[in-house]
Structure formats: C-alpha cells, structure tokens
C-alpha cells in the first residue's frame, strides 16, 4: 500500500501568519506531488504541483519537496481567512500501471481573523 500521511488537524493560525502543512509518503519512487485545496462542500482544486527537490513558489504559496526524507510541505504566507479549507496532499505512485493519484486524508486549516 502506497500511503500518504497528513495530520488531519485542525491547524489554526492567526491571520497574517505562515501556515505550514506537511505530508509524508511511503513510495520512495514517486516523482510527482500535488497540493489540492478543498473548501467545505466544494470540489478539490489544484494549488501547486512539484516534481523536483527544493522549493517552488507561486504567490503566497510555497511547496517544498524532499525526496530523500520523503516529505512534501506547503507554506502559506500572510494567511487569510479565505485560506481556511482542507488541504489535500497527493502523489503519483511509481511503478508500471500506476494510473492514479493517491491522496492523503487532508489537513483542515483554520485562519483566525
């Protein structure tokens, strides 16, 4: 079983702070990683994808990947109440015939005004 682990939270941060969301995975061969945001009652939407070790920045969001340690994280700078949502970590497993994303159970983020 190729697993993706996330702390379910809730993670509460004050408005303006940095929110740090973490994800670990068991499949050492995975090459593609994604962060999805899901507002309550809505569908998941892609925020970031990352494929190489290091940081990838997009606006207030930074994804960090460390394949040696098998973790991927998402930093949200200057957190806003509108960032309150569940954040899903996902990866594309390695191996022949891997045609599916594997999702973690998500971390619920609450940004307090």
Contacts of 81 by beta carbon, 8 Å cutoff, 6+ apart? 15, 111, 112, 113
Q: Which of 45, 55, 57, 78 binds another protein (CB under 8 A)?
A: 45
Report how far apart, in Å, the C-alpha atoms of 43 and of each of 19, 39, 49 are.
21, 7, 17
Query: Which of 21, 25, 35, 44 touches another protein (CB under 8 A)?
Result: 44
Contact between 31 and another protein (CB under 8 A)?
Answer: yes
Q: Which of 65, 86, 87, 111 binds another protein (CB under 8 A)?
A: 86
Closest among 20, 12, 44, 23 to 109, alpha carbons compared: 12
Cβ 78 to another protein, closest distance in Å?
A: 25
Q: Tokens 């494929």 sit at which residue?
A: 51
Among 21, 37, 92, 109, binds another protein (CB under 8 A): 92
What's the CA gap between 85 and 72, in Å, rounded?
A: 18
| Interaction site with another protein (CB under 8 A) | 31-32, 34, 38, 42-46, 49, 51, 86, 88, 92, 98-101, 103, 105-106
């Amino acid at each position: 079983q190729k697993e993706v682990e996330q702390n379910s939270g809730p993670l509460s941060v004050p408005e303006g702070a940095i929110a740090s969301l973490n994800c670990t995975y068991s499949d050492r061969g995975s090459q593609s990683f994604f962060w999805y945001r899901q507002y309550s009652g809505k569908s998941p939407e892609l925020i970031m994808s990352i494929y190489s070790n290091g940081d990838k920045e997009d606006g207030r969001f930074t994804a960090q990947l460390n394949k040696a340690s098998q973790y991927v994280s998402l930093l949200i700078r200057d957190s806003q109440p509108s960032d309150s949502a569940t954040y899903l970590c996902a990866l594309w497993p390695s191996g022949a015939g891997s045609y599916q994303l594997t999702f973690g159970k998500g971390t619920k983020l609450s940004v307090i005004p």
